Structure 1
Amino acid sequence: MDYRRTYRAAAIVFADLVSRIPAADLNGPGLGEWTLRDLLGHTVSSALRQVPAVLADRAPGIVVPVPEGYFALLRLAPTEMVGAARTASADDARATGTDLGDDPAREISGWIGKATAALASVADDDVVATPAGGMRVRDWLPTRTFELVVHSSDVAAAAGLPIEFDPETLSESTALAARVAALTGGGLTTLRSLTGRGPLPEGFSIV
């Protein structure tokens, strides 16, 4: 699976989706307490804006050897740390959403250009400093594709707009979610649900 292609494909789907959102809807409901604008801000921050910075920052060694390890670390982190991270993420989402201005689609296209240009300048096995620690580029970038796919689906649901990913991009992110579930103790529950053998518990999540 070409992780570079799936990242670009997910980014293009996100940009197209945002271009179809009426400006009047941006301050409407998004996800939880977030407005739709806040949700766009979080997606830009987590999946686009940080990519050039992370790819430019080399790490001395690998701390997280697989993509699923990135999300597993967040799941297993101390409660206080997770709470602080969520508060910071919410503040950043609102600030970034505001910065998108009156034409979010144009701003997002600019960030996609910067992210893909940065990706073209690194090798698959370069080790970069991510928020979870040193990771190979080929292991970290799928976590950003995951953010694009999941939050684009959130945006589409909030805006009441259709969205469609190509099978390879969707397969990559779905498989990553399953591997996170397996690593954090929910693998069998997930497998049984996907094969029609039982529902997921209320509130079940791999993030």
Structure 2
Amino acid sequence: MTLHAHVETFRRAGDHAVTLAAQVGPDQWDAPALGTWTVRTLVGHIGRSFTTVVDYSAQPADRVDVPDSAQYYVVIAPMLTDPTQIDARAVQAGLTLGERPLDTLREQQARAAAALDTEDRTIKTIAGGMRLSDYLPTRIFELGLHSIDLARAIGVPEALPPDVADSILTLSVDVARRRGDSQALLCALTGRGALTPGYSIV
């Protein structure tokens, strides 16, 4: 897919996430959402899909270290082994939302949209240098999956925009293949087996 196509899907994923956040009731921000996270923590984490685009877009890289979106998740897998660090970042992101969390989230989305243009430049990410067109699907992935988490937490319909769901599914299959799980996945998808309990590509 082209950079333009990924940008459009990213914007739709962002619009969907913000629309869900707008449905959070005043008494729901401190309610349980995902594991130990509250709704505020989850929304703060969703906002990181906007802020990382802004931050990374401002940091050009000299070379491509990570050739595609699936490899990004392979590279960062060792960084995801300590849940306390992930939780700490999410909690801080939730606190950063301040007293008007929805307004802050909308501002984060607007800054991310402004950071995107027609140039498919190479940017610095936590995994190394990547083309912007390869990095954006990872943000669509995060926005979409955590939108489902948020919808479930606040009790509203969870259906994603079709192109967002398609993007996430394509990347998920690519990551599973990269991990050597192709046969297990195809058996599960065709009713010939089941994935191990708790299986996740991230």
- TM-score using structure 2 length: 0.93
Please report how far the alpha carbon of residue 88 of structure 1 lies from its aligned counterpart in structure 2 after TM superposition. Answer: 2.5
Aligned match of 2:126: 131
CA distance in structure 1 between the partners assigned to 2:128 and 2:172 by the alignment: 20
Does residue 205 (structure 1) correspond to residue 196 (structure 2)? The answer is no
1:9 to 2, 12, 26: 12
Amino acid at match of 1:39: L
Does residue 158 (structure 1) correspond to residue 153 (structure 2)? The answer is yes
Please report how far the alpha carbon of residue 117 of structure 1 lies from its aligned counterpart in structure 2 after TM superposition. Answer: 0.5
Q: Is the 8 A contact 1:64 1:132 kept in 2?
A: yes
Q: Secondary structure at the match of 1:37?
A: helix
Return 55-64 or 156-165, whichever deviates more: 156-165
Q: How many positions carry a matched residue from both structures? A: 199
Displacement over 4 Å in runs of 4+: none
CA distance in structure 2 between the partners assigned to 1:138 and 1:5 by the alignment: 11
Q: Is the 8 A contact 1:145 1:173 kept in 2?
A: yes
CA distance in structure 1 between the partners assigned to 2:192 and 2:100 by the alignment: 46
Aligned match of 1:62: 64
Amino acid at match of 1:92: R
Please report how far the alpha carbon of residue 89 of structure 1 lies from its aligned counterpart in structure 2 after TM superposition. Answer: 2.4
Note the 1:16-165 alignment, pairs <5 A.
16-45=19-48, 47-75=49-77, 77=78, 81-84=79-82, 86-120=83-117, 123-124=119-120, 126-165=121-160
Please report how far the alpha carbon of residue 50 of structure 1 lies from its aligned counterpart in structure 2 after TM superposition. Answer: 1.3
Please report how far the alpha carbon of residue 83 of structure 1 lies from its aligned counterpart in structure 2 after TM superposition. Answer: 3.5
Q: Secondary structure at the match of 1:25?
A: coil
1:172 to 167, 176, 181: 167
Return 156-165 or 126-135, whichever deviates more: 156-165
Q: Secondary structure at the match of 1:134?
A: strand
Q: Is the 8 A contact 1:23 1:102 kept in 2?
A: no
Q: Is the 8 A contact 2:80 2:86 kept in 1?
A: no
CA distance in structure 2 between the partners assigned to 1:74 and 1:99 by the alignment: 24
Return 196-205 or 100-109, whichever deviates more: 100-109
Note the 1:180-195 alignment, pairs <5 A.
180-195=175-190
Structure 2: gaps of 5 or more residues: none
- TM-score using structure 1 length: 0.91
